[in-house]
A and B are shown apart, each in its own frame.
Chain A
Amino acid sequence: MSSKSIAELICPAPLPAKDTVLLGHGSGGKLSADLLREVFLPFLNNPVLARLDDQAVVAINGQRVAITTDSFVVKPLFFPGGDIGSLAVHGTVNDLAMGGAVPLFLSAAFILEEGLAVEQLKRVVNSMQRAAEAAGVQVVTGDTKVVEKGKGDGLFITTTGIGVVPEGVELSADRAQPGDKVLLSGPIGEHGIAILAQREGLEFETTIKSDSAPLHTLVARMLGASREIRCMRDPTRGGVSSTLNEIAQQSRVSIELEEWTIPVSEDVRGACELLGLDPLYVANEGKLVAIVAPEAADPILQAMRKHSLGKEASIIGSVQEEHAGLGRVMMRTTLGTKRIVDMLAGDQLPRIC
């Protein structure tokens, strides 16, 4: 245990995660962002893609159309509060809704693993139909492929959606401004914990259900209350913290949250305490985060609370000038101190003891 000067010290050899795709690249955290920046954008870049919103908004003959696509690889296929079918509809409807678009049509591509029970597939497709009907969208085209046993995980679904963006609605993650308020539509972490509780090896009983739900009618209600919404995002994988970090980065601002204003149900808090997870990083499938002009915050909040999916909406923080050397997203804790709310590198891993 001898002491050496700092200059003499070295650390074990670095292992940059650049040569192989790891599971962490799919976590929605920094590794996912690296993949986007270093692999996809250099080849596929264009002004629409470069906005990095959850949906692309393009004009066709003067009509603004939103397009989005999303793949669903959830395991187990059926979970409390939903299944891969309803999730595939809600996820894509929500990505359209976050651009302020009215969702209209979906496509669905199925990758089936040899050996999947047709009965299961029927249940999934039936659930998709019910979810689509409830959301007022139609699945108008699709595709199926089958891969050999062991080459898939039962069933993967990719859905693509299009919708129209009403006149005067302009939402993008680069529009947040100092002074804006941050709104959250309800308690966080329910989808991620519901899925985790179902996974093999985690034997705890819980009544937590996925919050999977289509958000476009809530969005319509919000836009009805005020058009002063800068941007909206549904905090899916990576949770609220990743979403807010992305917005802060794209808008070149900082965001300050107040810990005590963030709604988390008792059940989710309990499960997170037990597993050593932070609900801010846990996935949601029926919640939205909105950045709105300060004067519009109250009317929008009131409108959200009148909708069944926004009853527990709250203002969780505000947008500030970008300050150098500080984290992009900061949190004022219940004790009055401040800490960084960082984007995670990969998935959250449960602690050892």
Chain B
Amino acid sequence: MKYLDEYRDQRIAHALVAEIFQVTTRPWVLMEICGGQTHTIMRYGLDELLPRGVELVHGPGCPVCVTPLETIDKAIELALRPDVILVSYGDMLRVPGSKSDLFRAKALGADVRIAYSPLEAVKIARARPDRKVVFLAIGFETTAPANAMAAWQAKREGLTNFSMLVSHVLVPPAIRALMASAENRVQGFIAPGHVCTVMGCGEYERLVADFRVPIVVGGFEPVDLLEAILMLVKQLEAGEARLENQYVRSVSYKGTVMAQQIMAEVFEVADQKWRGLGPIPRSGLRLSEKYGDLDADRVFGLAALTVDEPAECMSAQVLQGLRKPTECPAFAIRCTPENPLGAPMVSSEGACAAYYQYRRHAKAS
């Protein structure tokens, strides 16, 4: 396929691997932030091609994994109301809340619909004025512009039966929290290419300066990731800490200004709870006051519902890159995609699911 096959080319990949071997003299711990990148690494076995000392740990960039339990519980509660149509991205349906999941709610008769675009939810609201349509608006900076667009459109049309249950998270504050942690082992980051396509890579400069940590914005194909790894190792070996952009075919310094404008119009930065990581200051987005009447929390008076997460969860360690999925005693034994114990095993972007799907045999070795 044009524009894709080049980035899966065996010769280019092997040339990059050879160069990584050439420049590596010491062990390094690198983290890829995005779950999509984790999947490429597992699917193509990129970590197996690297020098022994170059370790890849997997970051918190799985939108489904970090959505707090209470958001899922709220979504289930809303979905079970006979007057509600709950619209969600497909990946959310299998994630366990504290007691159930949306697939089960659907089996009990809840009207849960999968959408590929949030504007689809607006369309349903328009077509069904007799029902209240709630869109489960989750994700990182990648889904925020489209979700914002849905709110903007609904408001413009004056739809009174449309609202959003919002749980939006931001990447830079999460990197800050990881770096500030006493247990941090990460020495260099591969920043998420899709997030940076929206936001630009400029906002990562502060992190590079504050923590003297190299950050390379990376794409999602094997050649992208190998090149990003090479760029990080070269910086680390030279004792440098700079922001670099490997994913130049998509990411600019300023990002997509129109997308940022619609986000700024609809959302405002707020404190946010992350499943597995806990609360991180100013790490999320909520609907701004102007769009407050579209906030499902407010419309349905849900704000009081809070759910305590289990005191400790293995997935927190996985999401911070402190443990590999295969180190978990439940991995592939009690915890499998058909019977997930934690969110990283549920989502197609979760690190545990990636290891399970492509690398189960690693457990034996």
Identify which of A1, A23, A31, A352 contacts B183 (C-beta below 8 A): A1
B153 at the interface (CB under 8 A from A): no
Decide: A352 and B314 in contact? CB cutoff 8 A.
no
Of B155-163, B228-236, B287-295, B352-360, the segment with at least 4 beta carbons within 8 Å of chain A is B352-360
Of B19-27, B138-146, B248-256, B262-270, the segment with at least 4 beta carbons within 8 Å of chain A is B138-146
Given contacts A273-B1, A335-B222, contact A349 B348 (CB under 8 A): yes
Chain A contact residues, majority secondary structure: loop
Given contacts A12-B69, A351-B348, A353-B140, contact A339 B42 (CB under 8 A): yes
Against A, the Cβ 8 Å flags (1 = close, 0 = not) of B330-341 are 100011111111
A4 at the interface (CB under 8 A from B): yes
A14 at the interface (CB under 8 A from B): yes
In the bound complex, residues from chain B placing their C-beta under 8 Å from that of A308 are none
B6 at the interface (CB under 8 A from A): no
Decide: B339 and A353 in contact? CB cutoff 8 A.
no
A238 vs chain B, min Cβ distance (A): 13
Decide: B98 and A340 in contact? CB cutoff 8 A.
no
Interface residues of A in 333-353 (CB under 8 A from B): 333-340, 342, 344-346, 348-353
Against A, the Cβ 8 Å flags (1 = close, 0 = not) of B257-280 are 000000000000000000001100
CA distance A133 to B343 in the complex (A): 51
In the bound complex, residues from chain B placing their C-beta under 8 Å from that of A24 are 94, 103
Decide: A21 and B43 in contact? CB cutoff 8 A.
no
Against A, the Cβ 8 Å flags (1 = close, 0 = not) of B83-115 are 000000111111010111101101110000111
Given contacts A13-B96, A349-B348, contact A335 B120 (CB under 8 A): no
B305 at the interface (CB under 8 A from A): no
Decide: A10 and B314 in contact? CB cutoff 8 A.
yes
Q: How many residues of B contact A (CB 8 A)?
A: 87
Decide: B120 and A201 in contact? CB cutoff 8 A.
yes
Identify which of B107, B194, B342, B343 contacts A353 (C-beta below 8 A): B194
CA distance A334 to B7 in the complex (A): 11
Interface residues of A in 191-211 (CB under 8 A from B): 201-203
In the bound complex, residues from chain A placing their C-beta under 8 Å from that of B64 are 352
Decide: B94 and A346 in contact? CB cutoff 8 A.
yes
B126 vs chain A, min Cβ distance (A): 14
A294 at the interface (CB under 8 A from B): no
CA distance A325 to B359 in the complex (A): 11
Given contacts A335-B44, A353-B139, contact A12 B358 (CB under 8 A): no
B349 at the interface (CB under 8 A from A): yes
Total A-B contacts with CB atoms under 8 angstroms apart:
183
Q: For B334, give the chain A residue with the smallest CB separation.
A: A14
A275 vs chain B, min Cβ distance (A): 8
B322 at the interface (CB under 8 A from A): yes
In the bound complex, residues from chain B placing their C-beta under 8 Å from that of A352 are 63-64, 89, 91-92, 138-139, 142-143, 349
Decide: B107 and A1 in contact? CB cutoff 8 A.
no
Decide: B91 and A351 in contact? CB cutoff 8 A.
yes
In the bound complex, residues from chain B placing their C-beta under 8 Å from that of A344 are 337
CA distance A201 to B113 in the complex (A): 10
A208 vs chain B, min Cβ distance (A): 14
Identify which of B4, B49, B89, B104 contacts A273 (C-beta below 8 A): B4
CA distance A62 to B276 in the complex (A): 64
**Contact-residue bracket for chain A:** 35 or more
A20 at the interface (CB under 8 A from B): yes
CA distance A20 to B109 in the complex (A): 12
A38 at the interface (CB under 8 A from B): no
A119 at the interface (CB under 8 A from B): no
Decide: B49 and A353 in contact? CB cutoff 8 A.
no
Q: For B356, give the chain A residue with the smallest CB separation.
A: A342
In the bound complex, residues from chain A placing their C-beta under 8 Å from that of B91 are 349-352
In the bound complex, residues from chain A placing their C-beta under 8 Å from that of B108 are 20
Decide: B314 and A9 in contact? CB cutoff 8 A.
yes
Interface centre among A12, A326, A350, A351 (most CB of B within 10 A): A12
A327 at the interface (CB under 8 A from B): yes
Decide: A270 and B1 in contact? CB cutoff 8 A.
yes
Decide: B361 and A326 in contact? CB cutoff 8 A.
yes
Q: For A345, give the chain B residue with the smallest CB separation.
A: B338
In the bound complex, residues from chain B placing their C-beta under 8 Å from that of A339 are 42-45, 358-359
A216 at the interface (CB under 8 A from B): no
In the bound complex, residues from chain B placing their C-beta under 8 Å from that of A23 are 103, 106-107
Against A, the Cβ 8 Å flags (1 = close, 0 = not) of B18-52 are 00000000000000000010000011111011000
B313 at the interface (CB under 8 A from A): yes
Report 24 cross-chain contacts, Cβ distance below 8 Å, ordered by A residue. Answer: A1-B183, A3-B183, A9-B312, A9-B313, A9-B317, A11-B330, A12-B313, A12-B315, A15-B339, A15-B340, A201-B117, A266-B1, A273-B1, A324-B364, A326-B361, A335-B10, A335-B49, A339-B44, A340-B359, A340-B360, A342-B357, A353-B36, A353-B140, A353-B142
8 tightest Cβ-Cβ pairs between the two chains A and B = A337-B45, A345-B338, A11-B341, A325-B364, A353-B142, A349-B90, A339-B358, A345-B337
